[in-house]
Amino acid sequence: MAEREYDVVVFGATGFTGALTAEYLAHRAPATTRWALAGRNREKLEAVRRRLAQISPASAQLPLVTADTSDASSMRKLAESTRVVITTVGPYIKYGEPVVAACAAAGTSYVDLTGEPEFVDLMWLRYHEQAQQTGARLIHSCGFDSIPYDLGALFAVQHLPEGVPIQLEGFVRAGGTFSGGTYHSALHIMGRLRQGMKVASERKRREPRPDGRRVRGIHGKPHRDDEAGGWVAPFPTIDPQTVLRSARALDRYGPDFSYSHYIVVKQLPVLVGMGIGAGTVIALAQLKPTRDLLLKLKDPGEGPSPEQRDKAWFKVKMVGEGGGRRVVAEVTGGDPGYGETSKMLAESALCLAHDELSERAGQLTPAVAMGDALISRLQAAGIGFTVNGS
């Protein structure tokens, strides 16, 4: 691994989030970090490099790697050239597997920003064991899905007594605009619910559970919660799954851990409207003709403007109880979908490339793979981790 040409390669650097991730690295990567841009189109990569050179003159010398998910040879060469691959090329259920496969075979660390449960479960079924053998660390959901929740839960648990049952509730509030790529990924998730449930069932059948410990997801009910600051409803994203997987892997979460996950809105009519809207879109996404029409509403390359991103924000609150103690931890930041996601993704890759971490391998969650080291990096980069207890 030490002999590899690069420390980090950004695959998908010509896309919206990939370019933001590259910009972050141009600003913040240590001068000693050997990193490169990768994608299908050489001319577009050169255009990205020229823009980065305006931010940091040293970026004018960035290496460019031409690679395509439809070309297994190029994927293999990409994975074998670097210690860490960042990929922003989605929807991942369509384009993600060749990158995972190449990294698992090469023993290369892998990070993405997927929120697609089917993809994550399928990659565990197909590549977890191989990655354990080669030493590869396959870490999904290293953006707003699911870093604030996964690390926020770990942060809260570490402020509770050890060896006691722990009950944790997570509440998310956010404001911002989503990109075309995020929109397309969400529609693919909604349109593949049956396939996703089948894959999740197979993973549940095959994946070992912790001995002598219990880890549960609690599906709460909509209600008003003064602690959260509004009306709350269960939020069935990939994030609670990630939190529970970390809890199963780490004894620090105690002998009996439970987690509930909610979205927060100020007013009840807004919550009702969101539920109706989501149900309508899910129904339309089940049929290919209506799904195709929905996909045409937003181009995958579109994204919010810098002005829109500047106004965006998020706050994740973790309320935990255990051993007679109660804590309220918060993870806060700016633009969740893009500015902070690119930061989380880049810092995850730098953490894997440069920090002293456990020697665990296989498909891992961010908390299991990077934990406190990544929390420290994100705090230094401006993402808030605070806690109050009683």
Q: What's 152's DSSP letter?
A: H
- Looking at residue 179, its pLDDT comes to 57
Q: Are 127 and 352 in contact (CB under 8 A)?
A: no
Q: Which residues are CB-contacts of 178 (< 8 A; sequence separation ≥ 6)?
A: 304, 337
Q: SS3 breakdown of the chain: % helix, strand, coil, rounded to 5?
A: 50, 25, 30
Rounded to a whole number of angstroms, the CA Rg of the chain reads: 20
User: DSSP string spanning 339-363?
Assistant: HHHHHHHHHHHHHHHHS------EE
Is the whole-model pTM more than 0.85? yes
- 326 phi, psi to nearest 5 deg: -130, 135
Q: How far apart are the first and last CA of the chain?
A: 46
**What DSSP element (H or E) covers 231?**
strand 230-234
- Looking at residue 293, its pLDDT comes to 72
Interatomic CA distance for residues 137 and 228, integer angstroms: 35
| Structural tokens at position 54 | 């305006």
The distance between the two most distant Cα atoms of the chain, rounded to a whole number of Å, is: 60
Cα distances (Å, whole numbers) of residue 346 to 30, 151, 260, 367, 371: 12, 16, 28, 16, 15
- Helices 268-285 and 180-191, axial angle in degrees (round to 10): 70
Interatomic CA distance for residues 29 and 342, integer angstroms: 13
Label residues 143-177 b or e (16+ Cβ within 10 Å = b).
Answer: bbbbbbbbbbbbbbbbbbeeeeebbbbbbbbbebe
Interatomic CA distance for residues 179 and 241, integer angstroms: 24
Q: Are 234 and 220 in contact (CB under 8 A)?
A: yes
- Looking at residue 255, its pLDDT comes to 98
- Looking at residue 311, its pLDDT comes to 82
β-bridge pairing 362-364 and 137-139: parallel
Q: Are 196 and 189 in contact (CB under 8 A)?
A: yes
Q: What is the mean pLDDT of each run of 10 residues along the chain (390 residues)?
A: 88 94 96 96 97 94 97 97 96 95 98 95 98 98 96 98 98 76 69 88 96 94 90 92 98 98 84 69 71 69 74 93 97 91 97 96 98 98 90
Domains parsed from the chain with CATH numbers: 6-142+340-375 (3.40.50.720), 147-336+382-389 (3.30.360)
Q: What's 286's DSSP letter?
A: T
